[in-house]
Structure 1
């Protein structure tokens, strides 16, 4: 299915770099249990999706790109495209607008979806198009829809996908509203951070469908029942994504952490609880709960989306610890 753009792979370097990336993903344990994703990462040429990207350097960002006149700079660009790291692909006034996610995290997320042949998938956040290409390689173009609010992003994703030989449906629109004309979906995966789970996604999912959403520096995997209801727990994996633009974007003022011990402020799991309970618990209350409950791992938390309300919880959806989420 995948193709290669002429002149972009000096001496087969991209093939070797891609094979090395697949080995790194495997060594990390990401995506294990589903060999179909290994084959997709081995086949889809990531460098075609990042013709340029930005690397953080002292004082800002350095641009690496495929068309540099310096062959050593082109090689740095190509090798960097196959590192197991996120790549900043779109900046505006120093703010990160779009990125290509870390491949091992992508592998974990794709494996968590548990796709089967014939499944239809909606991706929220087209990014570079690379994730949509992996899905299209696995499931076929017709079964994959990706949506993004920014027409520049969807246009470049379309271009990258075509260069690599993939043609899923690319839609320009507000991802929080889903893509009703392509529904229902067996799986929905968001590649941008949200403050809650849009009801539209639950409505556009088949009963038994799965929705995977980055939320509060974690990844929550929901199963949809036939009543406009979805529920599930967080995966163990930390996840940091660019926020969704348009409806449903998370936000808020910086939190005041006075009175919270420095050790807790720096702890990833405490910061996850802070993000999850923002607006419901003040940081001091969150810290007391966190210590009392034994500094819970992400997997002890979950989300319930009902027809009238949406809430996060610890251990039990009907238990004593529950916090409303924006819907």
Structure 2
């Protein structure tokens, strides 16, 4: 019995759990900007995309899967597939390398992507294939959706899950920072992995007036593309934690010690966002002084500008006084 061929009892559990998830996301207001996504999430079965996943335990991880011989374990698996939580789908040496994102965060990102009928969409980070299926269902044309991932095992399983659910978007295996030029131009680009800066290839492959939504630092920035060398936009209000993009050479700056930063800063999510955004430009005490002086600014006050070879993050205004180069 495959994960997409459940017995009737489990099929009923899946349908009930999916309906409950849709209600939960609806109540959160995640797709308020574009309520059509409610019908999409109600139609696309998440369990098909996570035939197995891992949940954290005191000893490490426990694997839940749809073909467990124990019917109670199978029910746990299918209910867990519709929990509003991220699911670890691929581990390597105990380290998470791929996951299925939290559905309410996916809903928010898809609504904020501002997709319109006929748009061509590129997704960076294929994951389980679930996000690509949601996009394909919303657009009603598989050929409008392209998803890319560096890992052949991830693209192969995503393609398999998509086919099992009845979707056939284009799945490409390569470094997502390079985009997919042969499928360009795109109207929308959405990334489901954290970036340290915005790849220039994305701008070059996006139509003027197009929109790029990507995790950066511990937030989500929505950029409007002006042309192949220019884009600008602000962060959304929500925190977002994703697996970093793999591929290319992107050295992480050394993590500075927070020992001298007062506890209220170290524990505050908005300070940690500023710290991640300015890493390599501000030391933690400078960041803390700014954060206090500006009244603990919310994410929406920050933005990103790409202009040719230069790109920078800023607070309130692209021209300063507070700007930090992105590397």
Scaled by the length of structure 1, the TM-score of the pair is 0.97
Aligned CA distance change for structure 1 residues 30 and 98 (closer, same or farther; 3 Å): same
Cα deviation 1:114-167 (Å, max 9, x = unaligned): 111000000000000000000000112010000000000000000000000000
Deviation at 1:212, TM superposition (A): 0.3
CA contact (8 A) 1:188 1:201 kept: yes
1:14 is paired with a residue whose SS is helix
- Structure-to-structure mapping, 1:42-121, within 5 angstroms: 42-121=42-121
Q: Which runs of 4+ in 1 moved over 4 A?
A: none
Partner of residue 41, structure 2: 41
Partner of residue 129, structure 1: 129
Task: Please give the alpha-carbon distance, in whole angstroms, between the structure 1 residues aligned to 2:36 and 2:142.
Answer: 16
- Structure-to-structure mapping, 1:266-285, within 5 angstroms: 266-285=267-286
Partner of residue 15, structure 1: 15
Deviation at 1:228, TM superposition (A): 1.9
Give me the CA root mean square deviation: 1.2
1:142 is paired with a residue whose SS is helix
Partner of residue 315, structure 2: 314
Partner of residue 258, structure 1: 259
CA contact (8 A) 1:243 1:249 kept: no
Cα deviation 1:11-53 (Å, max 9, x = unaligned): 5111111111100000111111322211110000000000000
List alignment gaps of at least 5 residues for structure 1: none
Aligned CA distance change for structure 1 residues 85 and 269 (closer, same or farther; 3 Å): same
2:254 is paired with a residue whose SS is coil
The answer to whether the aligner puts 1:153 opposite 2:154 as a matched pair is: yes
Deviation at 1:258, TM superposition (A): 2.3
Aligned CA distance change for structure 1 residues 229 and 55 (closer, same or farther; 3 Å): same
Partner of residue 181, structure 2: 180
CA contact (8 A) 1:193 1:250 kept: no
List alignment gaps of at least 5 residues for structure 2: none
The answer to whether the aligner puts 1:219 opposite 2:230 as a matched pair is: no
Partner of residue 288, structure 2: 287
1:35 is paired with a residue whose SS is coil
CA contact (8 A) 1:47 1:78 kept: yes
Partner of residue 168, structure 2: 167
Aligned CA distance change for structure 1 residues 7 and 203 (closer, same or farther; 3 Å): same
Aligned CA distance change for structure 1 residues 292 and 72 (closer, same or farther; 3 Å): same
Which stretch of the first structure deviates more once superposed, 105-114 or 257-266?
257-266
Task: Please give the alpha-carbon distance, in whole angstroms, between the structure 1 residues aligned to 2:48 and 2:30.
Answer: 23
Task: Please give the alpha-carbon distance, in whole angstroms, between the structure 2 residues aligned to 1:8 and 1:99.
Answer: 26
CA contact (8 A) 1:221 1:232 kept: yes
- Structure-to-structure mapping, 1:209-248, within 5 angstroms: 209-226=210-227, 228-247=229-248
Task: Please give the alpha-carbon distance, in whole angstroms, between the structure 1 residues aligned to 2:238 and 2:300.
Answer: 9
Which stretch of the first structure deviates more once superposed, 263-272 or 253-262?
253-262
CA contact (8 A) 1:202 1:224 kept: yes
Aligned CA distance change for structure 1 residues 8 and 52 (closer, same or farther; 3 Å): farther
CA contact (8 A) 1:185 1:209 kept: yes
Aligned CA distance change for structure 1 residues 162 and 249 (closer, same or farther; 3 Å): farther
CA contact (8 A) 1:194 1:249 kept: no
Scaled by the length of structure 2, the TM-score of the pair is 0.97
Task: Please give the alpha-carbon distance, in whole angstroms, between the structure 2 residues aligned to 1:305 and 1:11.
Answer: 48
